[in-house]
Amino acid sequence: MSPSPVSSTPILRTALMWSGAVTAALAVAAALIGLLVAGTEGLWSGLAGVLIAAVFLAITAASILIANRWYGDPLYVPIFFGIVLGGWILKLVVFIIALLLLRDQPWIAPTVFFVALVVSVMASLAVDVAVLLKMRIPHVSDVSLPSASDADEGEGGAAHSGGPRV
């Protein structure tokens, strides 16, 4: 597979990889802290909070990476926004289902779940900031400037005759 010409692709891939590593570390920490604070319910609540945050935060980056595969297609912009909007709608539907399923579960310790969720979101934001600060991309990217031959074609395709070019 050839590398994507879209400059956001390496940033999103790196952010997803770092987020996966941070999520694994947070899952272990949330499970241990939850177990110490609230027993078995705390362990499962911590794991659920971290997992839900990871899934929700990964959906956006994954949808953009999937949409970038159509770069260069004449319908790239509608395809891109359709896929990204579909990802956001998916997140909304999954969020509502998760709330309905988890609201009265006896194995959920609400405080542990909430803290694990918030810490996971904050860690994901920190990863995104670190990745964006570390990555080097030009200020103007994904742009092709016209060449001199393009300018000649714009004049009817005929070679410029007479006098120096300005």
pLDDT in tens, 116-132: 999 999 999 999 889 88
The answer to whether residue 101 sits within a structural domain is yes
Number of compact structural domains in the chain: 1
Least confident range from 43-52, 72-81, 155-164: namely: 155-164
Print the SS3 string covering the chain.
Answer: CCCCCCCHHHHHHHHHHHHHHHHHHHHHHHHHHHHHHHHHHHHHHHHHHHHHHHHHHHHHHHHHHHHHHHCCCCCHHHHHHHHHHHHHHHHHHHHHHHHHHHCCCCCCCHHHHHHHHHHHHHHHHHHHHHHHHHCCCCCCCCCCCCCHHHHHHHCCCCCCCCCCCC
Give the pLDDT of residue 150: 67
The answer to whether residue 159 sits within a structural domain is no
The answer to whether residue 147 sits within a structural domain is no
pLDDT > 60? residue 161: no
Give the domain extent around 77.
8-136
pTM (predicted TM-score): 0.74
The answer to whether residue 84 sits within a structural domain is yes
